[in-house]
Amino acid sequence: MKVLKLGIIGQGRSGRDIHAEFLRQIPQKFQIAAVADVLPDRAERARTEYGCAAFTDYRQLLTHRDLDLIVNATPSHLHVPVTKEFLQAGFNVLCEKPLARQPAEVDELIASARRAGKLLAIFQQSRFAPYYRQVCAVLESGVLGRIALIKCAFNGFGRRYDWQTLQSHNGGNLLNTGPHPLDQVLGLIGRDLMPGVWCQMDRLNTAGDAEDYCKIILSAPGRPTIDLEVCSNTPYPSSTYDIYGQFGGLRGDMGKVTWKYYLPAEVPALPLQRDPLPGPSYCSDPGLTWHEHEWTVPAADQDLFGSMAARFYDNLYEALVNGAPLVIPPEHVRQQIAVIAECHRQNPLSRLPE
């Protein structure tokens, strides 16, 4: 099995705790050969922990022509320029989310990758989440019938004060957390179109100038309406998914999904009664028989991040070594960035002086 040599830019929470710490568990596929971080102690820590070359200037990785992949885990506002720099220099690049702020920037990166004949991938690992795959399986089975509404919530309560609360650094809930649920729900409304977008943003308990409350409604003719929340303002978070269907519905979080439905073939037709119902009565449906199922996350997937990352990196390895298609190509991410850009257009927030 071929071992791919990696260079990782950034040794903060993403570069070290997400990528490096996972990749060191699969040395049969990936070797951390070099890292870069502006903080000398982080660079030295990586040299010690991974036995790799380490630098404080990421451009020094450009001289390491033996690297098979660059992992761009720089701060969000540097994702586009640093990714473009390495693509143009002839490297394959895996970029952390958010990939960009504007869809035109995604177009630039796609064009750069094509001109260089290199691979551009984006770390949208939530596409592989076990609970999301189960939700998709239920919807694809058709037992819920036509779907009217899909609610998705990535909510909680937190007061953030780091650079990811700053608009100048492409911060805020939608760009920080939003790429995960947005990637999921865009697959449920359809990746073949730009949906209608309504969005409301607000700042409630953040130290920065970017939003920590975000509500989005996505719609398209003949498609389910999407109701998405990415908020840090509720200590009583709701289910991750609530789905309203013709024959039943679904509710689930990241550990358990339940769905309930009736089978049209098992119930009598409901004749319309235009005249007043006899006596003091209301509509009843005694012939309705419910079918209910429950899914719980398998033991092998209890480590949610590890489960998602393993599937993501397996696909990335196959793409680099054997030319397999990416499950999450940059064109899918472009649709996501277009939605995010429209949300920000509708909600211009004041900015802190830099």
- List the one residue out of 72, 69, 116 whose CA is nearest residue 98: 72
CATH of the domain spanning 127-305+337-346: 3.30.360.10
Q: What is the pLDDT of residue 251?
A: 98
Q: pLDDT tens-digit profile of 50-104?
A: 999 999 999 999 999 999 999 999 999 999 999 999 999 999 999 999 999 999 9
Peptide bond into 353 cis (omega under 30): no
Q: pLDDT tens-digit profile of 285-304?
A: 877 899 999 999 999 999 99
With b meaning 16 or more CB within 10 Å and e meaning fewer, what string describes 285-310? eeeeeeeeeebebeeebeebeebbbb
Q: Hey, how many other C-beta atoms are within 10 angstroms of the C-beta on 261?
A: 21
Mean pLDDT across 109-115: 98
Please give the CATH architecture assigned to the domain spanning 4-123. 3-Layer(aba) Sandwich (3.40)
Q: What is the pLDDT of residue 280?
A: 65
Q: pLDDT tens-digit profile of 166-221?
A: 999 999 999 999 999 999 999 999 999 999 999 999 999 999 999 999 999 999 99
Q: What is the pLDDT of residue 284?
A: 79
Q: What is the pLDDT of residue 145?
A: 98
Q: Is residue 199 classed exposed, middle or buried when 0-12, 13-18 and 19+ CB atoms within 10 A define those classes?
A: buried
Q: What is the pLDDT of residue 169?
A: 97
What is the CA angle 245-246-249, rounded to 5? 35
Q: What is the pLDDT of residue 277?
A: 82
Q: What is the pLDDT of residue 242?
A: 98
Domain boundaries for CATH 3.40.50.720 within the chain: 4-123
Question: What letter would DSSP give residue 292?
Answer: E
Q: Are strands 256-261 and 147-153 parallel, antiparallel or unpaired?
A: unpaired
Those residues whose C-beta lies under 8 Å from the C-beta of residue 72, and which sit 6 or more positions away, are 9, 10, 78, 79, 82, 83, 86, 93, 94, 95, 96
Helix (H) or strand (E) holding 229: strand 225-229
**Mean pLDDT over the full length of the chain:** 96
Tokens of residue 317, six digits: 């390895």
Give the C-alpha separation, 180 to 334, whole Å. 14
Mean pLDDT across 251-262: 97
Up-side HSE of residue 206: CA atoms within 13 Å toward CB?
A: 24
Q: pLDDT tens-digit profile of 113-170?
A: 999 999 999 999 999 999 999 999 999 999 999 999 999 999 999 999 999 999 999 9
Those residues whose C-beta lies under 8 Å from the C-beta of residue 159, and which sit 6 or more positions away, are 205, 206, 207, 232
Domain boundaries for CATH 3.30.360.10 within the chain: 127-305+337-346
Q: What is the pLDDT of residue 319?
A: 98
Q: What is the pLDDT of residue 241?
A: 98
